[in-house]
Amino acid sequence: MKVNVMTDILQANDLLARDIRNMFHDRKIVCWNVMGSPGAGKTAMLERLVPMLPVKVAVIEGDLATSRDAERISKTGVQSAQINTNGACHLDAAMVRSALDTIELDDISLLFIENVGNLVCPSGFDLGEKGRIIVASITEGDDKPEKYPSMYKTADLVVVNKMDMQENSNFKIENFEKGLKTINPSSDIVPVSSVTGEGFDKLLGWILDRQ
């Protein structure tokens, strides 16, 4: 008898993610799964964006080890929770379900889940989110959408971070955009710098349009 363990794991995850999505719907909570490479600036983007938001926010942080990202987010004054995956390269719905128990859901209408830094594994795991935001950074190179299609094809929005470093890089936003459109024509794209704040008005507008 052939046992397809991966299919079973994904089916179980999808069932739990469906329950989480229904719960978010009932509570009118909009949830974004924030994904991207290690060090792309996922936490830095959230640190700048969260204080700009006129709605109540919480952030769930996913990392292999340490609580550093949740500590950084808590300094903005919003609720945060840290998941440590103990080696796993992605979050799954069961981990998110446990973290949700530590958040006052009555107090929020917007939730960001920062996934483990990885451009492959997180894409296969539904967390019950409304949609997906990929944070890319210009130091990764402008060819990444086509090289990591499984991730980029699931994005609703790609935030291209670290635009303040463009002068010293060979990154061309038009190459990146062309590759993204090939993989995922419906994704939006917003270039930003989490250091200077460039692009954050547009990013804020994108989030609030979907709130």
Chain residues that interact with Mg ion, rule: CB under 5 A:
42-43, 69
Q: Strands 188-191 and 157-161, how do they pair?
A: parallel
**Least CB distance to Mg ion at residue 82 (A):** 11
Choose the contact partner of 44 out of ligand GTP, Mg ion, none; CB within 5 to 8 A by kind.
ligand GTP
Contact 13, 86 (CB under 8 A): no
Report how far residue 53's alpha carbon sits from residue 2's, in angstroms, rounded to the nearest whole number.
50
- How many other CB atoms are there within 10 angstroms of residue 183's CB atom? 19
Choose the contact partner of 39 out of ligand GTP, Mg ion, none; CB within 5 to 8 A by kind.
ligand GTP
Residue 42 as a binder of ligand GTP (CB under 6 A): the answer is yes
Report how far residue 12's alpha carbon sits from residue 153's, in angstroms, rounded to the nearest whole number.
23
Exposed, middle or buried, 149 (CB in 10 Å: 0-12/13-18/19+)? middle
SS3 state of residue 6: helix
**Least CB distance to Mg ion at residue 67 (A):** 11
Give the footprint of ligand GTP on residues 93-132 (CB under 6 A): 117
Choose the contact partner of 161 out of ligand GTP, Mg ion, none; CB within 5 to 8 A by kind.
ligand GTP
Choose the contact partner of 195 out of ligand GTP, Mg ion, none; CB within 5 to 8 A by kind.
ligand GTP
Segment interacting with ligand GTP, rule: CB under 6 A, options 34-42, 81-89, 93-101, 167-175? 34-42
Helix 5-27 to helix 93-100 angle, to the nearest 10 degrees? 30
Q: Which helix (H) or strand (E) holds 159?
A: strand 157-161
**Least CB distance to ligand GTP at residue 137 (A):** 7
Residue 194 as a binder of ligand GTP (CB under 6 A): the answer is yes
Residue 39 as a binder of ligand GTP (CB under 6 A): the answer is yes
Segment interacting with ligand GTP, rule: CB under 6 A, options 32-40, 76-84, 89-97, 150-158? 32-40
Report how far residue 46's alpha carbon sits from residue 44's, in angstroms, rounded to the nearest whole number.
5
Residues that bind ligand GTP (CB under 6 A): 36, 38-44, 69, 117, 161-162, 164-165, 193-195
